[in-house]
Amino acid sequence: MVQQAAPSVPEPIIPDTGDNEIAAEVAQDAANDPMQQEILAMNAQDAAVEAQEEAGVPNAETPSAQPGAPVAEVPPPADATAPTQQAPPRFTQAQLQQVQQLQAENTRLQQQAEVTQIQAAQQKLQAQHEQAGLDPEWAQYIAQREVQMAQQAYQAVQNANDEASEQQAKQQTAQQFGKQYGVDPGRLMAFDTPQAMEQMAQMQQQLAKQNTQVNQMKQAAAPPVQYDNGRAAPVAGSSDEQMSDRFHAGDRSEEVNAWAKRNYG
């Protein structure tokens, strides 16, 4: 039986550091690190290839292209930094139920924490009233009332803030639809939902278009205006006899003068 010879272990690569003691110490550490040795070996191989290319010596690993031989196109390497599109995660029914349970538990813990805070505040107030000399039962009653009043005041502030936020959002929605459809935003504030606001804005826009069309049709159908040609219009119910009486009585108005000019020249 022929015993195979053990593969020879390559000599560790130690970079030339000259007289620099720190660099020499780093080089010695690199000689004991297999990963660093692999990196140094790859660098040495690349340097040898570059030296052969500069000297004009063909690389033995890469065959030289023969004249007329088709050159195979090498596809470019995939960009490792390019983001990959991943499909959105799909949750199972069990996972959705678990999420709902966690949300319910979170709500329960928040409510429990609020109750604990209220109880602690009530106990603190009761202790203060008892230290002030009140009866424990009376002190407890007063502490409860104070906590209830504080809760009502806090809730009132929250409601006011919510109402102000809702009113602001309502005004912004009305302004948006008013600008979009060319209508007065103030007429949309009577509606509580964006859908109702938009429907009313569309109706007002259509009504304005119809009114414009009606006015244009009325103007087109109106008779032409006849302007005064300089002659005085006769007075309704007037007669030549009345005009004669007025002329001889000394009336020299434009109307009488026009009559006299027509009759007397």
pLDDT band per the 50, 70, 90 thresholds, residue 65: very low
Q: Give a yes or no: residue 238 inside a domain.
A: no
Q: Are residues 27 and 126 in the same domain?
A: no
Q: Indicate if 32 and 111 belong to the same structural domain.
A: no
Task: Grade residue 67 by pLDDT with cuts at 50, 70 and 90.
Answer: very low
pTM: 0.36
Most confident of 25-39, 171-185, 222-236: 171-185
Domain that holds residue 41: 21-51
The answer to whether residue 214 sits within a structural domain is yes
- The verdict on residue 77 lying in a domain is no
112 & 208 share domain: yes
Asked, for residue 226, whether it belongs to a domain, the answer is no
Task: Express each pLDDT in 176-197 by its tens digit.
Answer: 999 999 999 998 998 989 999 9
165 and 105, same structural domain?
A: yes
| 118 and 177 part of one domain | yes
How far is the C-alpha of 173 from the C-alpha of 194, rounded, in Å?
7
Please tell me the least confidently modeled range out of 17-26, 87-96, 154-163, 211-220. Answer: 17-26
Domain count, the chain: 2
